[in-house]
């Protein structure tokens, strides 16, 4: 019987594979398994969408479609929005983790050294879709590179109970802070306060406190992005006003709320108004039988949206801007770029946009004239969120220092400390000291 | 003669094995795995932590050596000072309550009654359930809007307005203390129960025959004999509570307005949340001297009790 030698088996295997792969020697030399055994996987980490239909759409339809179209595997992971930043840090420091990570607001600047430039994709989409709104451009690009691919703006508007406001004598939502406080006081007396979080949470807390401060003339820094000017009459006035407003008209549990608490409080009819994305209204549309008013009518017929009131210095909005960062440590950068391009094709992005029903406002001009905005007048106020947003760090640039201030919740804490009893001047001084530490570093 | 014959007939052990017969070599060989594990998982991260706290690393940006600047910075940080105070207050209050309630429970459980084994098993439940899971349940019970505690108090007529459990700084601290005590009492109870069971009943009986009252029997017989176990249990508990993270992170996230931050949660917010890794490491390391001192004092005390 002929003896088979180990070496001859290796030669045979090598010879068979050599046609396309360069044999075992080639595999050993490159340290990579043969291409046919590797299906590229793109790991995309994003928030748990406040519109559950979107995550379902992604999982059931769009990700399988992407896999078919691009020949890759997409691993979609969703986490609470507050957990995204820790995941980014862990990924960067360990050099491994999701390829694409969703970022909120100007957090992109904090990770500028660790992400891949997405200018090519961003500019191509901007050109095709009539231009990128300056708000999205300033947050995602430092002028040299796109640190994140602009995804969408989650508009922050006040959702309110029309009938309750009418009962209190307001046919439209108060458009100044004075009338807002008056209305809130009347409503709180009836056990229906307005509700607002002053907790450490990514969306509604800064979405309220930053524009509130700006509307009184307060700001963190001058346009030079260096001189801290928060200790101003405007800011102090705003803090004093907040102290009264909180006692008179707000749900005092708001100090411990995250981005979901106000949704639950509104849906359980314990508050009459709250700054929010459109998720409350969309939820009542989804479950009209579950959410009813005290009179038994569907709650979605009794909800309207309004922008934040104006103060002595004007009317402002700070809307949560989401972008997707491609991480430098990713070993699948090309596949991830292809996936991003695929997501942003008009047909695919439209699927996402439509599933959101106006909860997400796209960052490019084209979508502002989409017919979706005409379908439901209750959602119309959200149409301009991407056009009108102003970024943290105003009137300086929304750079890494501004992002650090945002991540440390300094502005939100300034108001939270004051409503807990700290004198307004001291609360502002505390914020000033914290900001100086950041801007002087 | 016989001995010589036997030794002559057995092959001499090879030198490697003979070396293992030397107790010093054997001890070294047996200690190596432990030393490697300790070095890898305790010494290395600790040294890395120290180095990190001495430079200016941010997430994705390698820092340079800055000496003690980070420590100086956190020392002048009002949130850090609040965290220091909170950590001591949280550890002190919870330890006192856990010890008192745990001891009380252990003494009760040390008696004979029907269903003793079942009750002992149930007592351990808070300790067995994953902390994050049970803390989420507590978070709901303290929820600003839907608190079942508020609902019950309201229905019983004790309150007319909601208690803002997690929104008020003092109440938020009280809430996390309550949950920590709830979770920690079983550990104390079961450990102290084990200690109680090692005390011979004859000592109690002899004291009773001599006319000692129950309180005197506890104070002069039980307590001195239980003290070494108690000290070890307290030591473990203090270390764990001092470095607690998950309970506070889930319940309050350090809020409202940083009012319930502990060392660990603030270090996490700075280092992992904001990406200021070196400052986070400095906050985290600031815990070390305090813990070290506590451990040394307690270990010395245990040694004194044992050699008495």
pLDDT digits over A377-427, tens only?
A: 999 999 988 888 899 999 999 999 999 999 899 999 999 999 999 999 999
**Hey, are the CB atoms on A261 and B271 less than 8 Å from each other?**
no
Report the first-to-last Cα separation within chain A, whole angstroms. Answer: 80
| Residue B59 lies inside a defined structural domain of this protein | no
Q: Is A348 on the interface with B (CB under 8 A)?
A: no
Confidence class for position A16, pLDDT limits 50, 70, 90: very low
Q: Which residues in chain B are closer than 8 Å to A85, comparing Cβ atoms?
A: 272-275
Which pLDDT value is given to residue A351?
Answer: 97
Quick check: is B4 in a domain? no
Of residues B59, B164, B257, nearest to A252 (C-beta): B164
Which of B143, B166, B257 minimises the CB distance to A420?
A: B257
Tens-place pLDDT, residues A119-178: 999 999 999 999 999 999 999 999 999 999 999 999 999 999 999 999 999 999 999 999
Average pLDDT in the B201-215 region? 88
Least confident piece of the model among A19-33, B37-51, B86-100, B130-144? A19-33
What value does the mean pLDDT take over residues B46-69? 92
Structure tokens at A25: 């020697």
Of A400, A365, A185, A361, nearest to A273 by C-alpha is: A185
Q: How many domains does chain B have?
A: 2
Segment holding B204, helix H or strand E: helix B201-209
Would you state the pLDDT for residue A15?
Answer: 44
Same domain, B159 and B258: yes
- Of A64-68, A107-111, A230-234, A383-387, the range with the lowest mean pLDDT is A383-387
Identify the pLDDT of residue A32.
52
Which of B59, B73, B169 is closest, CB to CB, to A92? B59
Same domain for B27 and B173, yes or no, is: no
Sign of CA dihedral B136, B141, B142, B143: positive
| Best CA proximity match to B266, nearest among B80, B123, B7, B118 | B80
Query: Which residue, among B51, B56, B59, would best test binding to A if mutated, counting the most A CBs under 10 Å from its CB?
Result: B59
Question: Does the reported pTM lie above 0.95?
Answer: no
The percent of residues in chain B predicted with pLDDT above 70, rounded, is 92
Structure confidence at residue A346 (pLDDT):
95
> Residues of chain A with pLDDT > 90: what percent?
85
Contacts of A253 in chain B (CB under 8 A): 144-145, 162, 164, 166-167
Residue B290 lies in a domain: yes
Measuring CA to CA, which residue among A75, A209, A159 is closest to residue A381? Answer: A159
Judgement on whether residues B213 and B94 belong to the same structural domain of the protein: yes
B42 shares its domain with B84: no
- Is A158 at the interface with chain B, CB within 8 A? no
> What single DSSP character describes residue A359?
S
The whole-chain average pLDDT of chain A stands at: 91
Reported as a pLDDT band with limits 50, 70 and 90, residue B17 is low
Taking an 8 Å cut-off on Cβ atoms, the answer to whether B254 and A93 are in contact is: no
- Assign B20 a pLDDT band (cuts: 50, 70, 90): low
Q: Which of A29-38, B31-40, B203-212 has the weakest average pLDDT? A: A29-38
Q: How confident is the model at residue B11 (pLDDT cuts 50, 70, 90)?
A: low
pLDDT at A159: 96
Is A157-318+408-440 in the same CATH topology as A38-155+321-380?
Answer: yes
State chain B's mean pLDDT as an integer.
89
What CATH class is the domain A157-318+408-440? alpha beta
Say yes or no: B125 and B237 in one domain: yes
Q: CB distance B277–A89 less than 8 Å?
A: yes
Q: What are the tokens at A139?
A: 């947050």
pLDDT band for position B23 (50/70/90)? Answer: confident
- Shared domain check, B44 and B73: no
pLDDT of residue A325: 98
- Quick one: pLDDT at residue A37? 47
Check residue B127 and give its pLDDT.
86
The mean per-residue pLDDT over the stretch A81-101 comes to 94
- B273: chain A residues, CB-CB within 8 Å: 85-86, 89, 407
Domain of residue B24 covers 12-53
- Report residue A27's pLDDT band, with 50, 70 and 90 as the boundaries: low
A259 at B interface, C-beta within 8 A: no
Indicate whether B267 belongs to any domain: yes
| Contact yes or no for A86 and B272 at CB 8 A | yes
**Closest-approach residue (CA) in chain B for A427:** B257
Measured in whole angstroms, how far is the alpha carbon of residue B270 from the centre of its chain? 23
What does the pLDDT look like over A349-373, one tens digit per residue? Answer: 999 999 999 999 999 999 999 999 9
The pLDDT tens digits for B243-275 are: 999 999 999 989 898 999 999 999 999 999 889
CA–CA distance, A333 with A372 (Å, rounded to integer): 34
Q: Which residues in chain B are contacts of A420 at CB distance < 8 A?
A: 168-169, 256-257, 259
Mean pLDDT of the B37-47 span:
93
Asked whether residue B198 is assigned to any structural domain, the reply reads yes
Token pair belonging to A339: 């996936």
Distance of residue A282 Cα from the nearest chain B Cα, in angstroms: 21
Q: Among positive and negative, which fits the CA dihedral B219, B221, B225, B229?
A: negative
Give the pLDDT of residue A40. 87
Measured between CA atoms, the residue of chain A closest to residue B251 is A256
Cβ separation B146–A264 shorter than 8 A: yes
Q: Write down the domain spans for chain A.
A: 38-155+321-380, 157-318+408-440
CATH number of A38-155+321-380: 3.40.190.10
Q: Is residue B261 part of a domain?
A: yes
Contact (CB<8Å) A253/B164: yes
- Nearest-CA neighbor of B166 among B174, B158, B156? B174
Name the β-bridge partners of A327: A115
Q: Are B21 and B158 contained in the same domain? A: no
Q: Which long-range contacts (CB under 8 A, 24 or more apart) does A228-234 make?
A: A228/A432, A228/A435, A228/A436, A228/A439, A230/A428, A230/A431, A230/A432, A230/A435, A231/A428, A231/A429, A231/A431, A231/A432, A234/A312, A234/A313
> How far from chain centre, in Å, is Cα B112?
30
Query: Cα separation of A223 and A231, whole Å?
Result: 16
Cβ-based contacts of A417 with chain B (< 8 Å): 257
Pairing between strand A194-195 and A273-276?
A: parallel
Asked whether A420 and B257 are in contact (CB, 8 A), the reply is: yes
Same domain, B23 and B102: no
The whole-number pLDDT of residue B3 equals 45
B87 lies in the same domain as B179: yes
- Within an 8 Å CB–CB cutoff, is residue A254 touching chain B? yes
Q: How close B175 comes to chain A (CA, Å)? A: 12
- What's residue A189's pLDDT? 95
Same-domain status, B48 and B78 = no
Please state the rounded mean pLDDT for residues A208-233.
Answer: 96
Residue B84 lies in a domain: yes
Q: Residue A407 and residue B162: Cβ atoms within 8 Å?
A: no
Q: In CATH, what number is assigned to the domain containing residue B296? A: 1.10.3720.10
pLDDT higher at B225 or A14: B225
How far B92 CA lies from chain A's nearest CA (Å)? 25
Q: What is the pLDDT of residue B8?
A: 47
Same domain, B75 and B38: no
Is residue B22 situated within a structural domain?
Answer: yes
CA distance B96 to B91: 9
């Amino acid at each position: 019987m002929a003896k088979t030698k180990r070496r001859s088996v290796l030669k045979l295997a090598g010879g068979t594979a050599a046609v396309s792969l360069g044999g075992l020697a080639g595999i050993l030399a490159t340290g990579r398994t043969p291409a046919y055994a590797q299906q590229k996987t793109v790991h995309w980490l994003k928030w748990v969408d406040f519109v559950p239909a979107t995550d379902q759409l992604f999982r059931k339809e769009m990700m399988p479609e992407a896999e078919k179209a691009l020949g890759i595997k997409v691993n979609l992971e969703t986490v609470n929005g507050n957990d995204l930043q820790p995941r980014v840090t862990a990924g960067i420091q360990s050099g491994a983790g999701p390829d694409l990570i969703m970022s909120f607001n100007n957090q992109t600047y904090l990770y500028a050294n660790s992400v891949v430039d997405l200018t090519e994709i961003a500019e191509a989409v901007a050109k095709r879709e009539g231009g990128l709104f300056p708000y999205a451009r300033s947050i995602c690009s430092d002028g040299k590179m796109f640190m994140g691919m602009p995804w969408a703006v989650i508009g922050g508007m006040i959702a309110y109970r029309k009938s309750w406001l009418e009962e209190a004598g307001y046919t439209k939502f108060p458009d100044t802070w004075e009338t807002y406080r008056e209305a809130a006081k009347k409503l709180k007396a009836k056990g229906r306060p307005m509700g607002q979080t002053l907790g450490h949470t990514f969306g509604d807390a800064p979405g309220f406190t930053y524009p509130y401060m700006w509307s009184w003339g307060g700001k963190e820094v001058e346009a030079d992005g260096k001189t801290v000017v928060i200790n101003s009459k405007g800011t102090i006035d705003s803090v004093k006003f907040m102290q009264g407003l909180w006692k008179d008209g707000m749900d005092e549990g708001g100090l411990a709320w995250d981005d979901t608490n106000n949704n639950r409080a509104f849906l359980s009819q314990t508050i009459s108004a709250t700054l929010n994305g459109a998720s409350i209204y969309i939820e009542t549309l989804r479950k009209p039988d579950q959410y009813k008013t005290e009179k038994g009518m569907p709650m979605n017929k009794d909800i309207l949206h309004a922008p934040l009131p104006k103060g002595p210095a004007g009317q402002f909005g700070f809307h949560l801007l989401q972008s997707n960062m491609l991480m430098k440590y990713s070993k699948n950068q090309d596949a991830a770029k292809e996936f991003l391009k695929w997501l942003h094709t008009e047909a695919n992005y439209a699927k996402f946009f439509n599933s959101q029903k106006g909860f997400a406002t796209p960052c490019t001009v084209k979508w502002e004239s989409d017919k979706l905005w005409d379908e439901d007048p209750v959602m119309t106020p959200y149409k301009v969120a991407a056009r009108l947003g102003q970024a943290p760090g105003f009137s300086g640039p929304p750079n890494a220092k501004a992002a650090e201030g945002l991540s440390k919740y300094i502005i939100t804490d300034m108001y939270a400390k004051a409503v807990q009893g700290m004198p307004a001047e001291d609360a502002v001084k505390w914020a000033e000291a914290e900001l100086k530490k950041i801007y002087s570093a | 003669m016989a001995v010589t014959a036997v030794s002559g007939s057995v092959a001499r052990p090879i030198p490697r094995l003979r070396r293992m017969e030397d107790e010093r070599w054997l001890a070294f060989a047996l200690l190596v795995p432990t030393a490697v594990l300790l070095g890898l998982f305790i010494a290395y991260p600790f040294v890395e932590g120290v180095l990190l706290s001495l430079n200016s690393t941010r997430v994705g940006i390698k820092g340079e050596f800055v000496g003690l600047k980070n420590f100086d910075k956190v020392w002048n940080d009002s949130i850090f000072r609040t965290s220091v105070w909170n950590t001591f207050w949280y550890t002190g209050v919870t330890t006192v309550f856990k010890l008192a309630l745990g001891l009380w429970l252990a003494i009760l459980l040390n008696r004979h009654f029907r269903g003793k084994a079942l009750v002992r098993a149930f007592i351990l439940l808070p300790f067995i359930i994953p902390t994050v899971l049970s803390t989420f349940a507590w978070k709901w019970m303290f929820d600003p809007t839907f608190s079942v505690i508020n609902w019950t108090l309201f229905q019983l007529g004790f309150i007319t307005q909601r208690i803002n459990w997690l929104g008020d700084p003092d109440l938020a601290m009280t809430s996390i203390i309550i949950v920590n005590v709830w979770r920690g009492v079983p550990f104390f109870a079961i450990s102290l129960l084990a200690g109680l069971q090692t005390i011979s009943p004859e000592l109690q009986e002899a004291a009773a025959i001599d006319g000692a009252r129950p309180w005197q029997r506890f104070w002069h017989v039980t307590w001195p004999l239980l003290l070494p176990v108690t000290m070890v249990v307290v030591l473990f508990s203090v270390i764990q509570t001092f470095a607690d993270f998950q309970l506070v992170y889930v319940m309050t996230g350090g809020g409202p307005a940083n009012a319930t931050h502990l060392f660990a949660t603030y270090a996490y917010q700075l280092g992992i949340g904001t990406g200021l890794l070196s400052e986070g490491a400095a906050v985290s390391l600031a815990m070390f001297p305090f813990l070290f001192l506590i451990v040394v004092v307690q270990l010395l005390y245990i040694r004194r009790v044992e050699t008495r």
